[in-house]
Amino acid sequence: DQQVKQNSPSLSVQEGRISILNCDYTNSMFDYFLWYKKYPAEGPTFLISISSIKDKNEDGRFTVFLNKSAKHLSLHIVPSQPGDSAVYFCAASVVGNAGNMLTFGGGTRLMVKP
Amino acid sequence: EPEVTQTPSHQVTQMGQEVILRCVPISNHLYFYWYRQILGQKVEFLVSFYNNEISEKSEIFDDQFSVERPDGSNFTLKIRSTKLEDSAMYFCASSVGGQGQETQYFGPGTRLLVL
């Protein structure tokens, strides 16, 4: 069941440039989206989220864009830093769902080269 | 900064044995979750827990699994009779609320290996 998909398993960018990570979803009931970063042997760390009533949310170097008609969201990191090298997961949930279950994408491994 | 903690960090067990994975959620959080990630696969939802009862569970969370909040701080996942396919990273998470736009905060995980 591929309700949330991250089609690029890996991405390599140069330090200082923009990193763009993409995520697609199929379930139109999803209305809250989150990005998590994960280092090896650690748990997912929350980065940024967006509600379906918005199309953009920004927090420092991180911006998430949501295109509801295309069922697509992206995470922009600018400028990218070597410490950003990690696996990035997008996740989605349905607000009001009693269980608040998150559905995750498969992740994109970002490598930022110095 | 408050964080979710999990013990043990690694657990090796024999097939058929019971294991208990422990979590201490963030202190003012009311909703608790377990997820797992089998090597090379997605992070998968197992169960959510609020007010001392299960709110939602996935089809993975069968009768072999149970959760409990035995005291005011711990949240546990028990696997009654482990199978080889239970080998995975198990993540505990917690959130302040559970039905709004709630951010779930994850612990570092327990790596379970079933031999």
Token duo for residue B75: 């949240």
Helix, strand, coil: what percent of chain A each, to 5?
5, 55, 45
Dihedral sign from CA coordinates of A90, B94, A39, B65: negative
Predicted confidence at residue A1, as pLDDT, reads 61
Dihedral sign from CA coordinates of B67, A103, B43, A41: negative
Report B:23-82 residues touching A (Cβ under 8 A). Answer: 31, 33, 35, 41-45, 48, 55-58
CB within 8 Å of B1: residues ≥ 6 apart:
none
Dihedral sign from CA coordinates of B57, B86, A10, A80: positive
CB within 8 Å of B99: residues ≥ 6 apart:
A95, A96, A97, A98, A100
Give the N- to C-terminal CA distance of chain A in Å, as an integer.
37
- Give A98's contacts in chain B (Cβ within 8 Å): 55-56, 98-99
B-chain residue closest to A2, CA distance: B42
Contact criterion met (CB < 8 Å) for B57 and A99: yes
Does A29 lie at the interface with B, CB-CB under 8 angstroms? no
Distance set, CA B80 to CA A14, B67, B75, B113 (Å):
48, 11, 16, 15
Please give the Cα distance from A4 to A59 (Å, whole number): 23
Q: What is the pLDDT of residues B74-90, one digit of tens each?
A: 999 999 999 999 999 99
Please give the Cα distance from A52 to A40 (Å, whole number): 30
Does A106 lie at the interface with B, CB-CB under 8 angstroms? yes
B-chain residue closest to A46, CA distance: B105
A-chain residue closest to B55, CA distance: A99
Contact criterion met (CB < 8 Å) for B109 and A34: no
For residue A99, which of B95, B41, B109, B111 has the smallest C-alpha distance?
B95
B-chain residue closest to A51, CA distance: B101
CB within 8 Å of B31: residues ≥ 6 apart:
A100, B48, B49, B50, B55, B94, B95, B96, B97, B98, B102, B104
For residue A108, which of A49, A20, A27 has the smallest C-alpha distance?
A20
- Across chain B, which has 115 residues, the per-10-residue mean pLDDT values are 92 97 94 94 94 92 94 92 96 86 92 97
How many A/B residue pairs have CB atoms within 8 Å?
A: 72
Predicted confidence at residue A98, as pLDDT, reads 66
Helix (H, G, I), strand (E, B) or coil at A83: helix
For residue B106, which of A58, A35, A66 has the smallest C-alpha distance?
A35
- List per-residue pLDDT tens for chain A, 114 residues long: 679 999 999 999 999 999 999 999 999 999 999 999 999 888 999 999 999 999 999 999 999 999 999 999 999 999 999 999 999 999 999 887 667 899 999 999 999 999
Q: What count of other Cβ atoms lies within 10 Å of the Cβ of residue B8?
A: 13
Report B:83-112 residues touching A (Cβ under 8 A). Answer: 91, 93, 95, 98-109
